Amino acid sequence: MLPIRYLPAVPFLILVLFTAGAIFPWREVLGDSYYDHQRLLQSLMLVVVAMVWVFGHWRQGLISTCRDRYLIFGFWAMMVGGAASVWLGLVPANGLVNYLHWLLLFSLFVVCAQASARGAFSTAGGLLAAQALAVFLGMLYLSFALLRGDSLSPSVIYPGVDNIRFFNQIQVFVVGLLIFLLGRPRIGGWAFGLLAANLLLMALGGARGTMLVALMTLFLVGLVLPQQRPRIYRAVAALLIAGVFYFGLRSLGSQGVYPLVRPESSSFVRLSMWMEIMDVLQFHNILWGVGPGNYNQFEIIHSHPHNSILQFLIEWGVTALAGAALIIGRLLGLAYRHIRRYPEDELTQALVAALVAGLGYSLVSGVIVMPVPQTLLFMFAGLVWGRVTSAKKSTTPRQTDLDRQRIEPPNSIRGWQSVLAAALVLVLTVPYMWFVSNYFLQATSSEGSSNGPGFWRNGAAFMMPER
């Protein structure tokens, strides 16, 4: 078995490889589309992380990581509400697949929380490095398009994604991290250029929601952390430089450059869409939901509601939504107290900024649906949780070695704990892989129009295979 000292390395190496594999356009390595390729990578990564956790002597940190009563109550509210939604909602088999998927996502949260003390920096750095390579490719495509006189549409300059918003959903997490690198003496210039390039690509892609969340992140960091305002000024300078390049490209008459304000797709369209969705909701839809992942099977008005709260309410019901809100509220409350108490802990501040940016963007986009931002959301939530709770525990008196020996369970009890933990993971992962493999075969063999983003690209619900 793997010793405890390797905890920060293994799961985060998997996470970094997943991020790199999902960002770059290796379309046909696993799936027949970029989206399905991302989902397969995510499913494999979640199962490997769960297995590594249970067989790596890291179970002992579970109790200390998840001891918070608000977290426990919120988790069980989500699980009980979700189970009722699976049972009473539409297409139970499809709901069960997504229910198991979210359980594994929560195991990712736990692993990240346990390894956050030593693995947070390497994980954030790996994400930045992978995204920097993708941005470098985008700027190369932009240069080539300018030299050839081609269109500057995001389908040309964005690095090979099926949907341009897949790229924006990663950028929104990266902006929060880059803010805190702007003042570093050795890498501040690199962070400044990367931030300006990201903002320029957002503008060229017409990513109004991403730009708005980036601006709100800058405002919140400057409001909560006055000592970081010099970095905010540098970030504003990067924004101005990106704006000069953007309007310069527009003034040159370059084709395919999106205007930042488009009346046909403004924020009022989002609002009218949400109001239209609320009009068709009934009481039982809100009470226990239609089932995790079953939005596409319910009165389809749009491919997805572009709002995490609304989608979670429709799919999981009000009980699960209340549990999720309790967990997020508790996490943000602890994070706020931590960054006020430890102003020198800039790594935690950067992780909180990335998490808040991701949560904010989920209110206008499909962050909780798409594979990569969904993974990043749980990853950053776990990293933040681990850092704020470990700092809280470090302020309490430490036990002596004699006390530890006195409370340490005997070998027989630890053996049973290992057996039960392994059985739990097997009960969770084996059915999950069976469902995912059959679901993938169904998705690749089905024909017809797409229902929008679901577990797989075509959005069709999972049906149990006929015997």
More confident residue, 30 or 314: 314
Radius of gyration of the chain (CA): 23
Average pLDDT (23-43) is: 71
107, 424 Cβ separation under 8 angstroms: no
Band of pLDDT at residue 4, cut at 50, 70 and 90:
very low
Q: What percent of the chain has pLDDT over 70?
A: 76
What's the pTM value of the predicted model, to 2 decimals?
Answer: 0.87
pLDDT of residue 96: 93
Residues 6+ apart with CB under 8 A from 157: 138, 141, 142, 145, 201, 204
**Which of 421, 370, 455 has the alpha carbon at shortest distance from 107?**
421
Is the pLDDT at 1 greater than 80, yes or no?
A: no
Residues 6+ apart with CB under 8 A from 149: none
* Integer Cα distance of 94 and 85 in angstroms: 11
With tokens 């962070």, the residue in question is: 191
Count the residues in the chain.
467
* Integer Cα distance of 43 and 27 in angstroms: 16
pLDDT in tens, 398-428: 444 434 444 444 544 455 556 666 677 777 8
* Integer Cα distance of 361 and 372 in angstroms: 14
Helix (H) or strand (E) holding 195: helix 188-204
- Highest average pLDDT, of 277-286, 315-324, 419-428, comes from 315-324
Q: What is the mean pLDDT of the chain?
A: 80
More confident residue, 63 or 73: 73
* Integer Cα distance of 196 and 222 in angstroms: 18
* Integer Cα distance of 80 and 419 in angstroms: 25
pLDDT of residue 285: 75
Tell me how far CA of residue 280 lies from CA of 116, 275, 298, 305, 310, in angstroms. 43, 9, 10, 13, 13
pLDDT of residue 451: 66
62, 404 Cβ separation under 8 angstroms: no
| Cβ neighbourhood burial of 7 (10 Å; 0-12, 13-18, 19+) | buried
Is the pLDDT at 136 greater than 70, yes or no?
A: yes
Is the pLDDT at 280 greater than 80, yes or no?
A: no
Question: DSSP string spanning 63-84?
Answer: HHHT--HHHHHHHHHHHHHHHH
Compute φ and ψ for 463, nearest 5 degrees. Answer: -115, 135
- 379, amino acid identity: M
Question: What tokens appear for 329 in the block?
Answer: 């509220």
pLDDT of residue 100: 93
> Torsion angle of alpha carbons 331, 127, 321, 287, nearest 10°?
-170
Average pLDDT (281-294) is: 83
pLDDT of residue 412: 47
Is the pLDDT at 435 greater than 60, yes or no?
A: yes
Provide the 10 A C-beta neighbour count for residue 75: 19
Residues 6+ apart with CB under 8 A from 301: 273, 276, 277, 280
* Integer Cα distance of 169 and 389 in angstroms: 28
Average pLDDT (106-123) is: 82
pLDDT of residue 164: 77
End-to-end CA distance of the chain: 39
More confident residue, 349 or 156: 349
Q: Residue-wise over 105-137: b if at least 16 C-beta within 10 A, else e?
A: bbbbbbbbbbbbbebbbbbbebbbebbbebbeb
Residue 369 DSSP label = T
* Integer Cα distance of 213 and 172 in angstroms: 7
**Which of 452, 96, 455 has the alpha carbon at shortest distance from 296?**
452
pLDDT in tens, 213-237: 999 999 999 898 888 899 999 999 9
Band of pLDDT at residue 99, cut at 50, 70 and 90:
very high
pLDDT of residue 393: 58
Is the pLDDT at 440 greater than 50, yes or no?
A: yes
More confident residue, 406 or 249: 249
Give the distance from CA 37 to its chain's centroid: 17
pLDDT of residue 11: 53
Is the pLDDT at 331 greater than 90, yes or no?
A: yes
pLDDT of residue 399: 44
Q: Where are the domains of the chain?
A: 4-393+417-444
**Which of 370, 454, 439, 377 has the alpha carbon at shortest distance from 38?**
370
